[in-house]
């Protein structure tokens, strides 16, 4: 069986619930994405707890001066995160500080966003990608509910693209994969489901069909 291309976002504040959902999903996901709400409600150690179950992507969207960025990236790395998400609009030195502090942790750069009103970022994706390439990022965040933007970004890079905006924000996993996403991020459609595992398996099946996977 091919590895899942699904990243599940646990944008919740209940630590025990997050760990319970992560355990229920097991190997049926590529990674679990956690955000500031879960860390702020408990402690950063939740990163390590979930990392024992699955890869963890820290969606911290880092956007500060280089020194602060480095502190955040090192913390996530030391807790066992597989990947971390950083903004790129703060400039080359700020983004490079994340890459340098991350070691083997994968850095994903936000170059377009999935929510309404993100035109300032989305309209400058080419400049943001140029900064990101110079900084040495591992991959990109590009919206799965804005297929035109996603396709344009895919044409400019062979690096890994992780796409949010699936499910509650209107995007479809199959469409995002066809437009160039390597991984799709789904949150509320899974963690608000009565059966998160069944919801994840359904999305995995949709992705496999779109990508012609066995």
Ramachandran region, residue 117 (left: φ > 0; alpha: ψ -120 to 50; beta: rest): left
Radius of gyration of the chain (CA): 16
The single residue of 27, 52, 61, 106 carrying the catalytic annotation is: 61
Q: Which pTM does this prediction carry?
A: 0.94
Query: Dihedral, CA atoms, 30, 35, 38, 40, nearest 10 degrees?
Result: 150
Q: Which residues of 91-129 are buried (b: 16+ CB within 10 A; e: fewer)?
A: eeebbbbbbbbbeebbbbbbbbbbeeeeeebbebbeebb
The span from the CA of 195 to the CA of 202, in Å, is 11
Q: Confirm whether 61 is a catalytic residue.
A: yes
Give the model confidence (pLDDT) of 112-167 as tens digits.
888 877 788 878 899 999 999 999 999 999 998 899 999 999 999 999 999 998 98
Q: How many CB atoms lie within 10 A of CB 52?
A: 11
The domain made up of 6-211 has a fold known as TIM Barrel (3.20.20)
Give the model confidence (pLDDT) of 92-107 as tens digits.
999 999 999 999 999 9
């Amino acid at each position: 069986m091919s590895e899942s291309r699904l990243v599940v976002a646990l944008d919740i504040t209940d630590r025990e619930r997050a760990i319970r959902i992560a355990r229920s999903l097991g190997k049926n996901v590529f990674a679990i994405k956690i955000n500031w709400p879960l860390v702020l409600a408990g402690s950063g150690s939740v990163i390590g707890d979930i990392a024992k179950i699955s890869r963890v992507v820290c969606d911290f969207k880092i956007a500060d001066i280089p020194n602060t960025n480095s502190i955040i990236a090192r913390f996530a790395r030391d807790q066992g995160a597989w990947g971390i998400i950083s903004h790129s609009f703060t400039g080359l030195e700020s983004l490079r500080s994340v890459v340098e502090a991350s070691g083997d942790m994968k850095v994903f750069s936000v170059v377009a966003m999935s929510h309404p009103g993100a035109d300032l970022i989305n309209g400058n994706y080419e400049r943001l990608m140029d900064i990101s390439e110079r900084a040495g990022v591992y991959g990109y965040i590009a919206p799965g509910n804005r297929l035109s933007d996603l396709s344009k970004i895919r044409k400019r890079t062979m690096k890994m693209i992780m796409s949010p905006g699936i499910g509650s924000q209107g995007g479809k996993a199959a469409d995002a994969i066809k437009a160039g996403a390597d991984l799709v991020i789904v949150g509320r459609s899974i963690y608000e489901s009565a059966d998160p595992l069944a919801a994840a398996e359904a999305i995995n099946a949709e992705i496999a069909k779109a990508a012609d996977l066995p």
